[in-house]
């Protein structure tokens, strides 16, 4: 079903929306009503996608062409998983997709997942450890395939499995001095950053009509960022998540890699945009057609990570924790 996703996909026309975006006791009923009258939700169902959110990423990719075969993609706030589904489809056959979410969810096919609060430094470190093996989470049957029907996977600029192996041999044999000593530190730093794209759609949890979380002992929904309909609160919460995603990207995104991040509009967004511009060559704001008009959500699309930009260049010396 997901094979129907095309790069030049044209969004279906909008259905009728119920204008109240706040969540109240009767909101579940309204949500269901809205889903049935929403052409994006209907289309998602037809295409076997886990949510209508997929179309936001499809629209972004149609415009900016961020995906290529073989990429490593980190999907922050992946659940229920429609962005990851799109990423798997567009990076196959050798791409690897790592999803992180605070709530437990069934991973979409071909996606490795880690459950945890991404605002926690420990969780971020766990994700980095997972990523540090460039082979981990990559489809095995494709890794050793001699050919594939779509042509060679594009891993332009990527550290492939074979290249990584060569690095290890060079280290053992002391061959690393081929790189001039003054550039060695930067080279090692560059080699460690092996993520091609960080996606963050972190915000309110997806609607669960039946669910474990309401009964959960750890009650995870009170720890995640839930949208409230109170604009400044949603904005502040989303800026925390955006900053966590950006910090992580400084450490993990390779030169030339990309960053897509949802935010709730408000006074801090300009400052965040300036930080993005320090790390990326081009920064755009997007409000995809498939994003509900009444929602204050929008997306930053930041393209082509620049070389030689450190954490303090982006966040300043006071803000390094």
- Distance CA(196)–CA(72), nearest Å, equals 5
For residue 112, what are the contacts with CB-CB under 8 A and spacing of at least 6? Answer: 96, 97, 98, 99, 130, 136, 137
- The binder of ligand SAM chosen from 41, 58, 198, 202 (CB under 6 A): 202
- The binder of ligand SAM chosen from 41, 44, 80, 264 (CB under 6 A): 80
For residue 171, what are the contacts with CB-CB under 8 A and spacing of at least 6? Answer: none
Question: Which residues, 35 to 74, sit near ligand SAM by CB under 6 A?
Answer: 50-51, 53-54
Query: Which residue has the closest beta carbon to ligand SAM?
Result: 77
Question: Three-state SS across 188-217?
Answer: HHHHHCCEEEEEECCCCCCCCCCCCCCCCC
- The binder of ligand SAM chosen from 66, 225, 242, 246 (CB under 6 A): 225
* Nearer of residues 237 and 257 to ligand SAM, judged by Cβ: 237
Which x/- pattern over 258-297 shows residues binding ligand SAM (rule: CB under 6 A)?
Answer: ----------------------------------------
Work out whether 83 is an interface residue with ligand SAM (CB under 6 A).
yes
Work out whether 252 is an interface residue with ligand SAM (CB under 6 A).
no
Question: Which residues, 114 to 153, sit near ligand SAM by CB under 6 A?
Answer: 117-119
DSSP class of residue 222?
Answer: G
Helix/strand/coil percentages in the chain, nearest 5: 40, 15, 45
Q: How many CB atoms lie within 10 A of CB 36?
A: 9
Q: Smallest distance from the beta carbon of 8 to ligand SAM, in angstroms?
A: 20
The full DSSP string for 78-100 is -TT-HHHHHHHHHHTTT-EEEEE
Q: How many CB atoms lie within 10 A of CB 289?
A: 14
Which x/- pattern over 88-107 shows residues binding ligand SAM (rule: CB under 6 A)?
Answer: ------------xxxx----
Question: What is the binding site for ligand SAM (CB under 6 A)?
Answer: 50-51, 53-54, 77-83, 100-103, 117-119, 201-206, 224-225
């Amino acid at each position: 079903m997901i094979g129907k996703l095309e790069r030049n996909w044209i969004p279906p026309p909008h259905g009728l929306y119920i204008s109240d975006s706040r969540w109240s006791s009767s909101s579940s009923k309204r949500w269901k009503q809205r889903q049935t009258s929403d052409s994006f939700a209907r289309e998602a169902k037809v295409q076997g996608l886990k949510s209508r959110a997929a179309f936001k990423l499809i629209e972004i990719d149609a415009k900016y062409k961020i995906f290529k075969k073989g990429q490593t993609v980190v999907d922050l706030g992946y659940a229920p998983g429609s962005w990851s589904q799109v990423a798997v489809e567009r990076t196959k056959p050798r791409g690897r997709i790592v999803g992180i979410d605070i709530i437990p969810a069934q991973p979409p096919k071909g996606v490795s997942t880690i459950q945890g609060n991404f605002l926690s430094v420990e969780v971020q470190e766990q994700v980095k450890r997972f990523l540090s093996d460039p082979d981990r989470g990559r489809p095995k049957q494709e890794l050793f395939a001699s050919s594939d029907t779509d042509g060679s996977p594009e891993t332009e600029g990527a550290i492939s499995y074979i290249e990584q192996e060569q690095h290890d041999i060079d280290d053992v044999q002391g061959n690393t001095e081929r790189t001039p000593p003054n550039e060695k530190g930067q080279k090692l730093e560059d080699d460690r950053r092996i993520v091609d794209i960080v996606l963050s759609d972190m915000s309110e949890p997806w609607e669960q009509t039946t669910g474990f979380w309401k009964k959960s002992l750890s009650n995870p929904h009170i720890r995640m960022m839930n949208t409230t309909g109170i604009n400044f609160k949603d904005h502040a919460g989303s800026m925390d998540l955006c900053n966590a995603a950006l910090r992580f990207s400084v450490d993990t995104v390779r030169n030339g890699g990309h960053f897509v991040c949802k935010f709730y509009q408000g006074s801090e967004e300009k400052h965040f945009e300036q930080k993005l511009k320090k790390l990326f060559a081009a920064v755009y704001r997007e409000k995809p057609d498939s994003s509900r008009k009444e929602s204050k959500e929008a997306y930053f699309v930041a393209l082509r990570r620049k070389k030689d930009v450190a954490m303090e260049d982006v966040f300043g010396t006071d803000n390094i924790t």
